[in-house]
Amino acid sequence: MADSFNADHVRVMRRFFLKRGAIGLAAWQLLPWSVLGADVSDAALDDAIRKLSYLTQQDAFGTVERGTPLPYTHPEEKLRAVGMTRDTWKLDVVSDPAAPAKLGAPLSKEAGTALDWNGLMGLAERHAVRFLKVMTCNNGGSPLGVGLWEGVPLRTIVWMTKPDSDLRRVFYYGYHNDDPKQLFQSSLPIGRVLEDPPGHHPVIVCYKLNGEFLTGKRGGPVRMVVPECYGFKSIKWLQRVVLTNAPYANDTYANGNNDVDSWMKTFARFVSTPAKVASGQPIPITGMAQVGISGLQKVQYWLTRADAALPADDPNFTQADWKDAKLLASPKNWGGGLPDGPFQKDVLGFDAQTQQPTTWPMRYALAHWAAMLTDVAPGSYHLRCRTIDVNGAAQPMPRPFAKSGRNFIQKVDLTVE
C-alpha cells in the first residue's frame, strides 16, 4: 500500500491515541505507543473517525502501470495527437471483425462518429453516477487507494451503438503507444454491463476521482472502473471498446496466471502496530479491511508467543484464540480533497436525504478498525489479523488462492519488554 495512503490513517489514529495519553507530538514520535491511556471508549473511537481522511488523494494512490514512455508523460503536443487530453479524447465503440456483433450505429473514429469529450459530458449531465471503490491489484495483497469515482454507465454508451444481436462480450483497450509490451486490455460479459446484480453499482466510463478530473497517472482523461473487480479490469487511458460475439475473456491479466473472473475478497491488513512496547502499557493496534463481495462482519486479531508451536493441520488458525477488534463507523468527513461534511452530490449506496451510507461497512470500499491490547506479559509475540465475512467465512476462506486476489493472513512481530 502507498505510504501516503497509510499516512492518513496513522494521522487519525495518532490524534485519537494522543488525546488519551495527553502528551506532546514530539514525545509521541519518540515513544509512539508506550505512554497511552488504557481507556478506549466507543465515543472516543467515533470521535477519531470524524477526523479520518477516508479517501485517498489522486496522487497518493499506489500505481500499477507498464511500458516506457508512460502515455501521460508525453509532451503536450503528442498528448493531443494521440487523444490523451480531454479535448482531443475520442472513444471507438465498434464491432469485432473477428466475431462481429450486429450494431446499427457504431461509434467510430474512422467514420467520424466516435464519442468525444463533449459527448461524454453531455451524457454525464443526465447519467453520471458516483460510488466508493477501493482499487486493489489482485497480486498486491494490500489496497492501492480508495476513491469516490464518477462516470457514465458503460451500458448508456453501448446502447448508443444500437446493438441488435450477436453480442456476448465487451473487450476494451487502453492507449498504449502502439507498443505490444504496453498493451493493456480487459473484458466483461455483456450481461454484467447491461444489468447490475442486486446491490451492485454499474460499470462506468470514468472521468472524475474525488470530484476532480482524472489525472493522466490515474488513467485520465478517461478510464474504465469496474466496481466489484480487482484493478486489472479498470483499464486506464480508455480509447477503444469492441463489442464481440466471442464468448471468452481476452484479458491481458489472463497472462501471468491471474484469475480474471475474481470479484474482490474481504481481508484485513495492519496499518499501525508497535514493534516494541514497555511492559504494563496498553498496546494500540490499528488497520483496515477491504470489503469484498461477501461483506464484512468483523475483524479479529490473535496474539501468540513467537516460540509457541503453531497448530497442526490448521493452516488458517481457525481454532486459535481470536479476539474482536473495533470496527470504526463511517466517516463524518471523507477527505481526499473534498469539503468537510457529507457528500454534496448523490452517491450510490448513500441515502439521498441524509447523504449517509445505507449500510456500513460498505462492499468494495474500506473499513478501518482498532484494538487495544492490555496486560500483555513481557516476551516476543506474533500478532495476526483476519476478517470474518457476512457469510461467516474466516479469511482467507472462502477463496484462499493468491492469483484471484492475495488475501493471506498478515503477521507482524511485537516485543513487550
Interface ranges with ligand MTE (CB under 6 A): 61-66, 135, 137, 144, 174, 184, 218-219, 231-232, 234-237
Choose between 34 and 185: whose C-beta lies nearer to ligand MTE: 185
Q: Applying CB under 5 A, does 2 fall inside the site for Mo ion?
A: no
How many residues form the binding site for Mo ion (CB under 5 A)?
Answer: 4
Choose between 159 and 408: whose C-beta lies nearer to ligand MTE: 408
Q: Taking contact as CB under 5 A, which single stretch among the options 174-182, 231-239, 279-287, 334-342 is the one that binds Mo ion?
A: 231-239
Closest by Cα among 210, 185, 165 to 61: 210
Distance in Å, CB of 14 to ligand MTE, minimum: 26
Distance in Å, CB of 408 to ligand MTE, minimum: 18
Does an H or E element contain 154, and which? helix 154-160
Among 172, 232, 270, 381, binds Mo ion (CB under 5 A): 232
- In contact, 388 and 297? CB cutoff 8 Å: yes
Q: Applying CB under 5 A, does 231 fall inside the site for Mo ion?
A: yes
Q: Applying CB under 5 A, does 237 fall inside the site for Mo ion?
A: no
43 CB-near residues (< 8 Å, 6+ apart): none
Among 137, 160, 170, 371, binds Mo ion (CB under 5 A): 137
Nearest position to Mo ion, beta carbon: 137
Q: How far apart are CA 72 and CA 216, in angstroms?
A: 5
- In contact, 183 and 252? CB cutoff 8 Å: yes
Tell me the C-alpha to C-alpha distance, in Å, between residue 50 and each of 13, 333, 357.
11, 6, 15
DSSP letter (8 states) at residue 335: B
Choose between 225 and 385: whose C-beta lies nearer to ligand MTE: 225
Amino acid in the structure at residue 200: H
The three cell numbers of residue 40 are: 478506549
Question: Cell 444500437 maps to which residue?
Answer: 162
Closest by Cα among 319, 298, 301, 321 to 385: 301
Q: Taking contact as CB under 5 A, which single stretch among the options 101-109, 224-232, 310-318, 350-358 is the one that binds Mo ion?
A: 224-232
Nearest position to ligand MTE, beta carbon: 231
SS3 75: coil
Query: Which residues 37-66 are close enough to bind Mo ion by CB under 5 A?
Result: 64
Q: How far apart are CA 279 and CA 277, in angstroms?
A: 6
Q: How far apart are CA 275 and CA 272, in angstroms?
A: 9
Query: Which residues 265-284 are close enough to bind Mo ion by CB under 5 A?
Result: none
Distance in Å, CB of 146 to ligand MTE, minimum: 11
Supply angle C-alpha 1, 137, 327, rounded to 5.
55
Interaction partner, residue 61 (ligand MTE, Mo ion, none; CB < 5-8 Å by kind): ligand MTE
Distance in Å, CB of 148 to ligand MTE, minimum: 14
Q: How far apart are CA 154 and CA 163, in angstroms?
A: 13
Interaction partner, residue 66 (ligand MTE, Mo ion, none; CB < 5-8 Å by kind): ligand MTE
Distance in Å, CB of 253 to Mo ion, minimum: 7
Q: How far apart are CA 344 and CA 338, in angstroms?
A: 9
Interaction partner, residue 270 (Mo ion, ligand MTE, none; CB < 5-8 Å by kind): none
Distance in Å, CB of 219 to ligand MTE, minimum: 5
Choose between 135 and 243: whose C-beta lies nearer to ligand MTE: 135
The three cell numbers of residue 209 are: 476521482
Does an H or E element contain 382, and which? strand 379-388
Interaction partner, residue 210 (ligand MTE, Mo ion, none; CB < 5-8 Å by kind): none
Choose between 83 and 231: whose C-beta lies nearer to ligand MTE: 231
**Interacting residues with Mo ion (CB under 5 A):** 64, 137, 231-232
